[in-house]
Amino acid sequence: MKKVCSFIALILILYSCSNKEEMIISGTLNPNIRSFIDFQTANDIEINNFIKRIDSLAIKFDDSELKSSSKFYHNLLKYKLIKTPSIYLKQKDNSEIHVFINKNQFEKIKRYDYLGSDRKYKINIKLKYKKIDENIFLSDSILEVDINKF
């Protein structure tokens, strides 16, 4: 009986550890939505000062959105994603997902990820991603890129 209980416990532990399984998503690159802050070229002091400001404002104003932003940026630091490129994908249901992308994979779409009203392309992307934490998704594999001119 102890062996059966131990075996079941082991299965449950292994199952709970595998909650970061890869999923596939398709969507349209939305270059008009960008983070106001781009940490890719920032140094560690600038990043830490920014996060400290968010933290202090969240405490000072007791603001739930600032607290959520603070948690988000602390998690990006925790998972070492703060300087990782990211994109926004618009899904079929018109929802947006913010995905951090491996730098090598980002090179495939970098030239299409820009702001501006004179876009000449619609970029459909299919990629594998993992949910790392709340609102933090990471892709290390772009499976398809379909470029359509307007």
Cα-trace Rg, the chain: 19
Angle, alpha carbons 128-133-136 (nearest 5°): 55
In terms of Cβ atoms closer than 10 Å to its own Cβ (0-12, 13-18, 19+), residue 134 is exposed
Backbone phi, psi, residue 117, to 5°: -90, -10
**Separation of first and last alpha carbons in the chain:** 66
41 and 84 Cβ atoms separated by less than 8 Å: no
pLDDT in tens, the chain (150 residues): 555 444 444 444 444 444 568 999 999 988 766 666 678 889 999 999 999 999 999 999 999 999 999 999 999 999 999 999 999 999 999 899 999 999 999 988 887 766 555 667 788 999 999 999 999 999 999 999 998 887
* Sign of the Cα pseudo-torsion (134, 39, 91, 127, in order): negative
- pTM, two decimals, is 0.78
Q: Does the 18-34+84-150 domain belong in CATH 2.40.50?
A: yes
Residue closest to 87 by CA, chosen among 78, 98, 73, 77: 98
